[in-house]
Structure 1
Amino acid sequence: MPQSTRSATLDAGPAGPGAGPDPTTAAELAAARRRLATPERLRSFFAPRSVALVGASDSSGWGQFIVASLATSGFTGPLRPVHPTRPTAFDRPTVPSLRDLDEPVDLAYVLAPTRAVEGVLEDAAAAGIRNAIVLASGYGDGGGEQGREAEASLVRRAVELDITLLGPNCLGYVNAAASVAPFGLGIVPPLRRGPLGIVLQSGALTSNVLAFARAHQVGISLLTSMGNEAVITTADVVEHLISDDDTEVIGLFLESVRDAPRFVQLAARALERGKPIVALKVGRTEAGQRTALAHTGALAGDDAVVDAAFRQFGVIRVGSLEQLLITSGLFTSGQVPKGRRVGVVTASGGACDIIADRSTDEGVRIVDFAESTTAKLKAALPPFAAAHNPLDVTGIVLAERGSAQAGLGDVALEAVVDDPGIDFVFNMLALPAAEPPDPSIIERRMAQIATTTQRSPVPIVNFSATCSDLSPFAQSLLDKHGLHTLAGIEFGLTAIGQALRWQETRALDPRPPSTEQVAAPAGLPSGPWSEARSRDLVAASGVPVVPAELVADADAAVAAAARFARPVALKICSAAITHKSDIGGVALGVQGDDDVRAAYERVHAAGRAVADDIEGVLVSPMRAPATELFVGVTVDPSFGPVLAVGLGGVFIEVLEDVSLRLLPVDAAEVRRMLGELRGAAVLRGARGTRPADLDRVAEVVAQVAAAAAGLGPALQTLEINPLRVDGDSVEALDVLVVTNPVTHDPAGAGS
């Protein structure tokens, strides 16, 4: 039975017996694998006209599910059971091997045990079959060396035989658009077709996803479980869905992002083409490759970087399967808001209160109705219904047939959609759990809402009060009139907030990092740099740095202090000492000549006590207190260079108030980062401080990022802490650079 645990990366271990010529490096193997999973190959892989079931038997639960799922999907092509000893399976005659088929099929679903899988692939290739799903587990999913070697051998065999393979440890897929579902779990009919493509790094969750989607009016184009992703990867399927005409929205359940640089490129492409990606990414792990020398690595932990990368390139990150499907359903509904001003129509005062609170959370503005709207409402509604936004029509929509108030809820909706000051309407639907004795009332109301929706100048987003499954009657009613409803106030407003942020990100047109490798400059040290050398690096990129002189004796320190406006600061300068304050290597606020001499001797002695490689002592002028920023760039093991910007002091140490972006960034992007900080008010001049020139700050931070990027694969950390900001005066007061001469390969060998 397939396991939920997926192999982490492809291990380029020894090939299996008889593998023959194969790629000799992990990179070559990855490139060969990619050729088996291009959008062109996947287009035919996911739409087979004939299927063979290898290992089919009436006693196989997996086989029974696959046959039933194919039937539920409406598949009418040939289904050929294959078994070496049994003459029939599922009321069909079998053949002993794929080689015995009278003509090749488009897809082989392999139910054979792990030890027999490669032999089945050889049979498939000999029979002219180029697509396979492998159910068997015990490969990289087991976590052992033997399993990893077996998986690497399987990949090599697939490459040699030119077979596109989904799995192993995989249940298969459901292609509702093509009416085919070679899928190893049962599908409860009906299978709802729609424009949502779903990719799951899980097997068993597929049934839950299908059930929730069906109960909430969300139709799918393609749903696939991924298994171990030995050949076809999540990124491959995402690339296919971006080009798929039947798919408008892409939903992902991710346990990991295996090929982060490629994923970012694909996310940017999907955003450009207007196909939202909605992702549930699970697993919050310890920060990867943290450096004990700097703050940046600890702040830019694995999950924080994933979150930042998703936000930067328009991937909508959600926290639950419900949010995944409800948010995706909003995008497929055709009623996506284009602005943040909402007009609310409900049949509940309590719902109005909840909506008011949650709208604020999501940045949705409940604006006052225009005078013309208010006049229309007052003329139509009874005196006890207050004509303001949010609008509570106080049960009027439930009035009995023939009542003088019947239909007034529709009149209210008609008035609100014409309000010139709103961007969309959030409209409550009260749908019956079962068909009422007289369905004409609700039928008439749905027809009226449909008519209003068609002529409305703004989107109408319908919602129910709670996240309850839609009854078959309610679904048929909504389908008949072309309407969609979001499941609950909470999920509905969350989806709206996500959709608005996605559109705003798309308008920014973010550019993903270049895939070209930048060569590291020659002669870089391995490990930390001295502060003097670090200062020179950022200054060469245009970053303003507080003046300083490197001196070698006390007399030179006195002379340097005289050239600066005292008081001055003295700091030990050595590549071997990164935490200067910790060893007494810093003296601040030093005034007279004797004090400067004494400070020099004290700082120098502290440095010599812990390191032999002392370049000298840096003397620089003290600066008056001002706003302090933290700016750092570190290298995430998956996504590459990441910029972190935050306020210094308690904000960075305790609150971890930081904004992250993948490089490269420009000044405009940094300006948006500054606005995301919880302490942004400090930069705007809170509590009597001088307001920062945010454009100047953004320009300097972008120069810091450029300096870091210029180090290429040698970069480990570049950090300025603090960056002093006083109005339009911006200066780096302390600079740390750490480099690693080993070439960085963020993509890894396996994806």
Structure 2
Amino acid sequence: MAQPTRSVTLDAAGRHAPPDPLDPAAARRRLATPERLREFFAPRSIALVGASDSSGWGRFVVDSLRTAGFTGALRPVHPKHPTAFDLPTVPSLRALDAPVDLAYVFAPTHAVESVLDDAAAAGVRNAVVLASGYGDGGDAQGRELERRLVEQAVARDITLLGPNCLGFVNAAASVAPFGLGIVPPLRRGPVGIVLQSGALTSNVLAFARVHQVGISLLTSMGNEAVITTADVVEHLIADDDCEVIGLFLESVRDAPRFTALAAAAMAAGKPIVALKVGRTEAGQRTALAHTGALAGDDAVVDAAFRQYGVIRVKSLEELLVTCGLMGSGQVPSGRRVGVVTASGGACDIIADRSTDEGVEIVEFAPATTAALRAVLPPFAAAQNPLDVTGVILADRGSAQSALGDVALNAVVDDPGVDFVFNMLALPQAEPPDPSVVERRVAEVAATTARSRVPVVNFTATCTDLSPYAQSLLDRHGLHALGGIEFGLTAIGHALTWHETRLAPPAVGAGTAATAPPGLPSGPWSEARGRDLLAASGVPLVPAELVIDADAAVAAALAFGGPVALKICSAEITHKSDIGGVALGVSGADEVRTAFGRVLAAGRAATSAIDGVLVSPMRAPATELFVGVTVDPSFGPVLAVGLGGVFIEVLHDVALRLLPVDPGQVRRMLGELRGAAVLGGARGTRPADLDRVSEVVAGVAAAAAGLGPALQTLEINPLRVDGGDVEALDVLVVTASS
């Protein structure tokens, strides 16, 4: 339920009243709604508070505003200097003749509180705070200062970016109160970028400028005291100027909200491309020291991103090239490619990298081959990938002038391709006779416009595009990916995103068992764990809990073959380690002896014995590991992998956040490196993957039914023999609720 809006109140001395009595997180969120951020990021008037002519930060902000083409009012505020940046100052925000839309606060940490008091009194609703020394320092004093800053912002109704923040660049609105220099020109476009970093913003802008990546909004986040990364993502999802969202993340601070926003972005057709650092132990230590926020289990982060359609990249270059492709209007949705280059070596590289990305280089149709043979030199092969040879690079109006045009047109018309990967050779400087390159680019543009499939242009290497090359492409409405490597990586990301969007994350997963009352704090006995799974429809190997040797013999005879005996106690989770398991036991005498041995081993470990489980032995078959654990950030996580050496040595597992459905489990099984084993190995029957997926989804539902008490639910192994699927061993651990 939405919280009521509260007016700002002052005490008798004119100071801000005590913090809003509502939940602090809810109160903070009211300051960072998409409606508030729409106003925040598009100010028409800005006050520079505490900046002077000698302030390097202040000069950067003024220059950045000029580069962005800001035409609004700029009001310097300084208590001592009469002028700043050739403009008259006022001593405080209270002295302004009219409120400004945004205050950029250069004041030192100890003065920020009074500046925000002035802002509230002057009717200023938005502020960027540059000062550090808050939660970024990692000490208790800094955290307390940041807590008070949030309280003040809430009480004063001030939307605040930072502290420890350089500001933002809103290219769509021609405003950039940003504390580092921006090399002109500022390229406007469809990509919104959010960075949990300050200094990297300049590098991002520089790379974007020379690789045709147009920016709608770019913001550094600072400490995220009031406005968070999630808030800006929510704003960008609603922002018509943004079509692609790029993120540099040091941590995911609110995982449930992040995944909900990722699902909303995917539904809106806005890809999220994220560079999440902290993948390694060293990286996690660095992120912790820099942000004061824990970097979660990276395998879970990776699984969550994949599940919710967040494209995860490994470098800033990959981030921006991928964002550029996703915002280019030429995004492939099928994996069959036709390749056009002027280099045999490029064809070889593309063939290898296409395989890596799951892109299929198909054979051209006979009509395509015939059209190509009519124009190609005799020594060129009319095959995919296509090398039209270097003849066109030396073209100066010769008989080969139409070679590149005919080749590209033939390939885009091939009925067997879903997109075309087309290499452009662009000059760094305007040639003496620009007509040839102008004509070539114009023809590519014309073919792209009429093509039924996307034409993805690329350069051979990730070199900066010269101003001439950029203007050439811009004039004809073309975009070129930076290099074969980053280009095909970006294409692989685009295809995966499209396929994920066709099969969105589950919002429910079967019928979960009702959580039993009075859940224990700690491990369950296996018998109780089996009851939980059975209630959710999970098939289990038959078993009987017995308390004496005669009952064990009767159970074994009823099963009619060799049996397994296992001690059953909540206090014994690793039964084999204490000798509490006997396998392949046959005959009454052997069963009696094994029962006594297993029971004695259990009693030597604990007095809390439920009895001994007797189960029929099963023939060798494929074994799976299925487990659900609870990640501190993302919540319950399902892990599925092949049992035995695959799980213990190779750690070959696929992960998903709960809830999951059988379709998602089926895709998980396909992600395993040892997936081929499920097709039948060492005499085993091929697994019925639909049946396996149903059972695993049932296990996940059983775990979900335990609610917040869940700690671990594990089946190891889950035996799979064709369509016969059974849990052989069960472990459940809960915390008392």
Q: TM-score, normalised by structure 1?
A: 0.93
2:117 is equivalent to residue 104 of structure 1 = no
Alignment gaps of 5+ in structure 2: 1-13, 283-294
C-alpha distance in structure 1 between counterparts of 2:125 and 2:606, whole Å: 64
- SS in structure 1 opposite 2:164? coil
C-alpha distance in structure 2 between counterparts of 1:138 and 1:69, whole Å: 25
C-alpha distance in structure 2 between counterparts of 1:102 and 1:56, whole Å: 19
C-alpha distance in structure 1 between counterparts of 2:281 and 2:383, whole Å: 50
Paired position in structure 1 for 2:72: 77
2:433 is equivalent to residue 438 of structure 1 = yes
Deviations 1:231-281 (A, max 9, x none): 000000000000000000000000000000000000000000100000000
Deviations 1:482-528 (A, max 9, x none): 111001000000000100010001011324579xx999653100010
2:453 is equivalent to residue 466 of structure 1 = no
Is the contact made by 1:286 and 1:302 (CA closer than 8 Å) also made in structure 2? no
- SS in structure 2 opposite 1:380? coil
2:604 is equivalent to residue 609 of structure 1 = yes
Is the contact made by 1:630 and 1:652 (CA closer than 8 Å) also made in structure 2? yes
2:444 to 445, 449, 459: 449
Distance 1:509 1:48, change over 3 A: same
2:130 is equivalent to residue 135 of structure 1 = yes
- SS in structure 1 opposite 2:274? strand
Shift of 1:457: 1.4
2:411 is equivalent to residue 421 of structure 1 = no
Paired position in structure 1 for 2:157: 162
Matches within 5 A, 1:386-425: 386-425=381-420
2:19 is equivalent to residue 22 of structure 1 = yes
- SS in structure 2 opposite 1:85? coil
2:325 is equivalent to residue 330 of structure 1 = yes
Deviations 1:656-709 (A, max 9, x none): 111111111111111111111111111111343201111111111111010000
2:232 is equivalent to residue 242 of structure 1 = no
C-alpha distance in structure 1 between counterparts of 2:370 and 2:644, whole Å: 54
Percent identity between the two aligned chains: 81
- SS in structure 1 opposite 2:32? coil
Distance 1:57 1:662, change over 3 A: same
- SS in structure 2 opposite 1:447? helix
Paired position in structure 1 for 2:189: 194
- SS in structure 2 opposite 1:629? strand
Distance 1:669 1:142, change over 3 A: same
Is the contact made by 2:274 and 2:311 (CA closer than 8 Å) also made in structure 1? yes
Larger CA deviation: 393-402 vs 641-650: 393-402
C-alpha distance in structure 2 between counterparts of 1:314 and 1:572, whole Å: 45
Paired position in structure 2 for 1:678: 673
C-alpha distance in structure 2 between counterparts of 1:424 and 1:736, whole Å: 49
Larger CA deviation: 333-342 vs 248-257: 333-342
Shift of 1:444: 1.0
C-alpha distance in structure 2 between counterparts of 1:115 and 1:691, whole Å: 69
- SS in structure 2 opposite 1:686? coil
Paired position in structure 1 for 2:350: 355
Shift of 1:566: 2.1
User: Greater RCO between the two (CA within 8 Å, min separation 6)?
Assistant: 1
C-alpha distance in structure 2 between counterparts of 1:513 and 1:562, whole Å: 43
C-alpha distance in structure 1 between counterparts of 2:690 and 2:99, whole Å: 64
Letter in 2 for 1:467: C
Alignment gaps of 5+ in structure 1: 1-16, 288-299, 743-751
- SS in structure 1 opposite 2:265? helix
Letter in 2 for 1:20: A
C-alpha distance in structure 2 between counterparts of 1:371 and 1:283, whole Å: 50
C-alpha distance in structure 1 between counterparts of 2:222 and 2:529, whole Å: 46
Is the contact made by 2:341 and 2:388 (CA closer than 8 Å) also made in structure 1? yes
Matches within 5 A, 1:206-605: 206-284=201-279, 302-511=297-506, 521-605=516-600
Is the contact made by 1:19 and 1:156 (CA closer than 8 Å) also made in structure 2? no
Shift of 1:610: 1.6
C-alpha distance in structure 2 between counterparts of 1:391 and 1:539, whole Å: 58
- SS in structure 2 opposite 1:182? coil
Deviations 1:543-590 (A, max 9, x none): 011111111122221222111122111111111111111111111111
Paired position in structure 1 for 2:116: 121
Shift of 1:23: 4.3
Letter in 2 for 1:21: P
Letter in 2 for 1:213: A
Paired position in structure 1 for 2:290: none
Letter in 1 for 2:450: R
Shift of 1:711: 0.4
1:86 to 58, 69, 81: 81
Distance 1:526 1:337, change over 3 A: same
Q: TM-score, normalised by structure 2?
A: 0.95
Matches within 5 A, 1:700-711: 700-711=695-706
2:145 is equivalent to residue 150 of structure 1 = yes
- SS in structure 2 opposite 1:697? helix
Shift of 1:465: 0.7
- SS in structure 2 opposite 1:609? helix
RMSD: 1.7
- SS in structure 2 opposite 1:688? coil
Is the contact made by 1:518 and 1:712 (CA closer than 8 Å) also made in structure 2? no
C-alpha distance in structure 1 between counterparts of 2:515 and 2:586, whole Å: 42
C-alpha distance in structure 2 between counterparts of 1:329 and 1:163, whole Å: 34
Letter in 1 for 2:113: E
- SS in structure 1 opposite 2:374? helix
Larger CA deviation: 329-338 vs 213-222: 329-338
Letter in 2 for 1:63: G
Is the contact made by 1:443 and 1:477 (CA closer than 8 Å) also made in structure 2? yes
Distance 1:301 1:184, change over 3 A: closer
Distance 1:671 1:520, change over 3 A: same
2:645 is equivalent to residue 650 of structure 1 = yes
- SS in structure 2 opposite 1:422? coil
Deviations 1:690-744 (A, max 9, x none): 01111111111111010000000101110000000101111000000000125xx
Shift of 1:195: 0.5
Letter in 2 for 1:507: L
Paired position in structure 2 for 1:50: 45
Is the contact made by 2:296 and 2:633 (CA closer than 8 Å) also made in structure 1? no
Is the contact made by 1:518 and 1:713 (CA closer than 8 Å) also made in structure 2? no
Paired position in structure 1 for 2:735: 740
Letter in 1 for 2:240: D
Is the contact made by 1:683 and 1:692 (CA closer than 8 Å) also made in structure 2? yes
Larger CA deviation: 300-309 vs 338-347: 300-309
C-alpha distance in structure 1 between counterparts of 2:306 and 2:615, whole Å: 40
C-alpha distance in structure 2 between counterparts of 1:531 and 1:461, whole Å: 57
